[in-house]
Structure 1
Amino acid sequence: MKQTSLLGLLLSCLLFPAVSVADENAGFLQKIYLSFCVKHLENYGTLRAQLEQQELPKLPPEQARAFLHNKPGDAWPIPFKGQFGFFVMALPEGDQECRVMARAGDAAANRRWFARMAEQAPAPLQPSMLADDQLEYPLSGPSGRLSWQWATEHAQRSLVLTLITAQEPEAPIQAQVSLTLANR
């Protein structure tokens, strides 16, 4: 991907207005996603090294495994209002994906900010919807999925943006948003 395209992507994402104050969890989820996953999409390995260099507390492998879907990688709890446990960022090995999970949040608010962002890929990338469906998700049970792809017409790689929101209010994870560098 060209450097100018990446810069356009980053600038457009950072200029999006935050969701309303009515749902701080959705706003914070968006902020983490943009600050970690989108900002560092060209090199998740560098992001991992920076987090380790800063000695940020990392989840032990047995706890991280659930956030990594039983794959190798690392997961960090992200503090929110001075407390840990509501948000987790995960970087699976291979440095091709970044995901952020939230224990609380409003599905409609998360879908609004995510859809607004996903529909507006920066030029020359073209957005295309991949999924708007229901699935059984390991961390949240019955869930809604909204997924978009950003790519140029003949690109061999694309960016896949996915939001998964729980349908049950008791689900341990209410939202997961991810950005994956994928082969087409």
Structure 2
Amino acid sequence: MNKTRVTRLMACLLPLLVLLPISAQADERAAFLQKVYLSFCMKHFDDYGALRKELIAQQLPKLPPQQAQHFLQGREGDAWPVPYQGQFGQYVLVLPEGDNLCAVMARRSDAAAARQWFTELAGNAPTPLQTTKLSEQATQTPLSGEALTESWQWATEHAPRRLLLILTTAKDPEAAIQAMVSLSLSER
């Protein structure tokens, strides 16, 4: 390979090598969001009251009520910061009163990566549940500004209750919350 070709190849690869850590970090953050969602919201969907009691019994640090209100958006309930790479402040687990909703909010998350894993998860309900995509629409949110919200339902045909899975991702990369994923159990 002559020197000119090597120089051109390096000129093409250098921007990709610079972007690789950013892409890897974005995927890592989306994967962590998924992990927290699965570990708390999905795992305990049938009893968020028990999850709340467990978190309190373990004496995990809760956000003070004034800070928690930012994430609860006017509802009563509790919010716990979730450590990421040894630091707090990037992810928050939210359990509003009523024990029928669990949400995870991410300060920084790649919207495309989060939508990819969420769509794969939400589109494949475990048997005997049936999957229904309810909507995908542009929304305006207090924490994210202009955002894209995608919602899915898991239920059996005649079940009186259903699981509602929702992902909201901010369009602005500087939004206060770039991703929020929730799971709720509701009546039809």
2:170 aligned with 1:175: no
CA distance in 2, matches of 1:122, 1:54: 30
Structure 2 counterpart of 1:76, which letter? W
Query: What corresponds to 2:62 in structure 1?
Result: 58
Structure 1 counterpart of 2:124, which letter? Q
CA distance in 1, matches of 2:74, 2:81: 17
2:102 aligned with 1:98: yes
Give the secondary-structure state (helix, strand or coil) at the position aligned to 2:95.
strand
Identity of aligned residues (%): 58
Query: What corresponds to 1:146 in structure 2?
Result: 150
Segments of structure 1 that go 5 or more residues without pairing to the other structure are 1-19
2:69 aligned with 1:43: no
Query: What corresponds to 1:28 in structure 2?
Result: 32
Aligned pair partner of 1:84 in 78, 83, 88: 88
* Normalised TM-score (structure 2): 0.86
* Normalised TM-score (structure 1): 0.88
Displacement after TM superposition at 1:36 (Å): 0.3
2:107 aligned with 1:123: no
Which entry has the higher C-alpha Rg, 1 or 2? Answer: 2
2:165 aligned with 1:161: yes
CA distance in 1, matches of 2:135, 2:153: 10
CA distance in 2, matches of 1:25, 1:131: 25
**What are the Cα deviations for residues 142-161 of structure 1, in whole angstroms up to 9, with x where unaligned?**
00011100000111110000
Query: What corresponds to 1:3 in structure 2?
Result: none
Structure 2 counterpart of 1:91, which letter? L
Query: What corresponds to 2:8 in structure 1?
Result: none
CA distance in 2, matches of 1:148, 1:130: 5
Runs of 4+ in 1 over 3 A off after TM superposition: none
CA distance in 2, matches of 1:39, 1:170: 31
Displacement after TM superposition at 1:174 (Å): 0.2
Give the secondary-structure state (helix, strand or coil) at the position aligned to 1:50.
helix
CA distance in 2, matches of 1:32, 1:96: 17
Structure 2 counterpart of 1:146, which letter? E
CA distance in 2, matches of 1:39, 1:21: 27
Structure 1 counterpart of 2:110, which letter? D
Displacement after TM superposition at 1:21 (Å): 4.7
**What are the Cα deviations for residues 76-116 of structure 1, in whole angstroms up to 9, with x where unaligned?**
00000000000000000010000000000110000000000
CA distance in 2, matches of 1:68, 1:160: 18
Structure 2 counterpart of 1:126, which letter? Q
- RMSD after superposition: 1.0
Structure 2 counterpart of 1:136, which letter? Q
